[in-house]
Structure 1
Amino acid sequence: MRLYLDFKHLLLLAELADTGSMVETAERLHVSPSALTHRLREAESRLGVLLAARDGRHLILTPAGRSLAKAARSLVQDLYNAEQAAKRIGQGVTSLVRMACGYYNDYRWFPAVVKSAAAIDPGLQLELVPHVWDRPLAALEANDADVIVFPSAEPPVGFWSVPVLQDELVLVMAPGHPLEATTAVEASDLISHSYVNYWFANHPVSGFEYDRFFGPAKIIPNQFYMLHSLEAVLELVKAHLAISILSRWAIQPQLDAGTLTARPLTRDGIPIVWHSVARETSRDNQAVVLVQREIASSFAVTAKSRKPGETGQVALSLPSANLRT
């Protein structure tokens, strides 16, 4: 098998597809623009096809160039993964599980998982994956992570989902807010209040307050705002500037500290369940099985630490039947 291009040509095309600029690509690759221009012409000469064409200030890849760039990205990622695997082997690491927390980015459960997993399997390395908190299922499908913990109304279809914590959506407010006197909040109670929504995903997520609280009542607060930052939402609520609807477990530290207070939604409440989710094919991966089990155990400890008689107290569902050892 004869290859006409070297790795340096493929790397150039992969970066050029992202930047559309020879100057910016040169900065990324720490090579002069003139050297990259020569490299591009060399690749085109070897293949006998045009790979990029100038459009004003930008270099646009041709269909042939885009095809090579797509393959180059995959190759670069595979090589990076192989290098990291080689380094882990040299360090005595026998398996890797990439983890994340979806939607609320709450990692109170993580230290216990690290400690217990290391005691059981010293060769297991746990790695936190950034930038997937707003797209947990897409990240699993794209193989960007192996296990992601997040809340939902129903178990995700097509994945290996282990329920680890029974939770509920609650109205969150500052202590002393007029709605604090309400035992169960209805949508109509919020019409005249300033409401800030924690918009934790860039796409609609079913099973939360819109589908199960505002939607059935056909009511939306008159003053309605959306923020992508949970920290910003909490600060506005603490300052008596707004109220919000959030996961009780996610804000439990603030409730325990007395900086926030919460009330159930409707008399029946609106339950959600935190799941530890992996790809269905991971059921035979012993490292993922171990992590799933230890996540469940970590949430069990969290559940036991709740105050007796607390409204909306969590109840753990241990997934022993779903775990293979």
Structure 2
Amino acid sequence: MKLEVRHWQMLKSLSELNNVAQAADSLGISQSALSHRIAEAERRMGGKLFEKEGRRIKLTPAGELITQAALQALPILERAENDFELDASNEKQIVRLGVASYSCYHWLPEFMQYVSKQAPNIQLRLIASATQNPISNLQHSSVDIVIAPGYLATPGIIPTSLFKDELVLVTQYDHALSHQRYIEAKDLSQQQYYTYSQNVTPGFEYERFIRPSGVIPQQVEVVEMTDAIIELISAGLGVSILSKWAIDAALKSKRVSCTQLGKQGLDLAWSALTRESEKKNSATKQTAHLLARWYKASNQ
């Protein structure tokens, strides 16, 4: 490798701050030392990484490409060091856990207690950012297990079946639609509708329920936080279609109601996704199996 870790750290700081003085402070070096480090990196790479723009600097197109690699690699290296330190001091194995599609963690405390009893050598660490781009995060080792609804066959990724769920209409508690046995897509036409993502995800409500009907809600707003959607619905400001599991806590507290989609309902299966390269007896594989066992016991 032509660049050292200090050069990668420099790229990250300059990319985030776009200011030599502030970047130098964040790195704990002088502006002069940082300028020398930039020149050294450019000399090693054989091209310009930055260009001046008034008093500020910005990345060149080539510098942008290499900086993206720095932004991905450095957090992984930092987490590896932290995991090592924890492992060395506590003799525990760290397993990074994330949830895809829905930011819901009502289940986490009980599962953590379960793991501490069944596998005291494993320490769970929640990676909330795994909700965005979960497969990519898993492939790049930013997270070890992703609890995901649905599943598209992905090379190098192995699913462990967890539990059966369903997609439901979520409304304010005691909403008029909540008294129906089920709803049709046409019932959404005049509703303020909140969607978790503007991307069409195979196997979810738009593909299976809304689009086939030919009826699209007239008022659609993207809200990328499950908790925020629940708060809006609880206040009577609209409706949404979400995983019933994801809104379990809000249902139990009667802040919202849910209604089946169509006569047959819309099922949704959840899995624990892990890397195929994981060893069979790794802490990650153990945790995936503990998840499956815990959900099976919880649903009995």
Structure 1 and Structure 2 fold alike (TM over 0.5) = yes
Q: TM-score, normalised by structure 1?
A: 0.78
Q: Which residue of 1 is the match for residue 203 of structure 2?
A: 207
What is the root-mean-square deviation in Å for CA atoms of aligned residues? 3.1
The 3 A distance-change label for structure 1 pair 285 and 241 is same
Identity of aligned residues (%): 30
The corresponding residue for 1:320 is: none
Spell out the pairing of 1:1-325 with structure 2 (5 A cutoff): 8-41=6-39, 52-61=50-59, 76=74, 80-81=78-79, 83-152=81-150, 154=151, 156-158=153-155, 159-199=157-197, 203-282=199-278, 284-304=280-300
The alpha-carbon deviation at position 183 of structure 1 amounts to 1.2
Q: Is the CA contact (8 Å cut-off) linking 1:160 and 1:280 kept in structure 2?
A: yes
- Tell me the secondary structure at the aligned position of residue 132 of structure 2: coil
Alpha-carbon offset, residue 280 of structure 1: 1.7
Asked if the contact 1:109–1:302 (Cα under 8 Å) also holds between the matched residues in 2, the reply is no
- Give yes or no for contact 2:170–2:240 (8 Å, CA) kept in 1: yes
- The one-letter amino acid of 2:19's match is S
Paired letter, 1:226: V
Look up the match of 1:309: none
Q: How many residues align?
A: 299
| Counterparts of 1:241 and 1:217, CA distance in 2 | 24
1:20-57 C-alpha deviation (Å, 9 max, x unpaired)? 42123123213332332244346667888655432334
Letter in 2 for 1:84: N
Structure 2 CA distance for aligned equivalents of residues 262 and 48 of structure 1: 60
SS at match of 1:214: helix
Contact 1:167 1:249 in 2 (8 A): yes
Which blocks of at least 5 consecutive residues in structure 2 are unaligned? none
For residue 244 of structure 1, report the CA deviation from its aligned partner: 1.4
Q: Which has the larger radius of gyration?
A: 1
The farther-off stretch of 141-150 and 61-70 is: 61-70
CA contact (8 A) 1:117 1:290 kept: no
Cα distance in 2 for partners of 1:68, 1:222 equals: 43
| Distance in 1 of aligned mates of 2:251 and 2:90 | 43
Please report how far the alpha carbon of residue 171 of structure 1 lies from its aligned counterpart in structure 2 after TM superposition: 1.1
The alpha carbon displacement at 1:186 in A equals 0.6
Alpha-carbon spacing, 1:181–1:74, altered in 2? closer, same or farther (3 Å): closer
Structure 1, unpaired ranges of 5+: 305-325
Alpha-carbon contact 2:195-2:222 (below 8 Å) kept: yes
SS in 1 for 2:130: coil
Q: Secondary structure at the match of 1:132?
A: helix
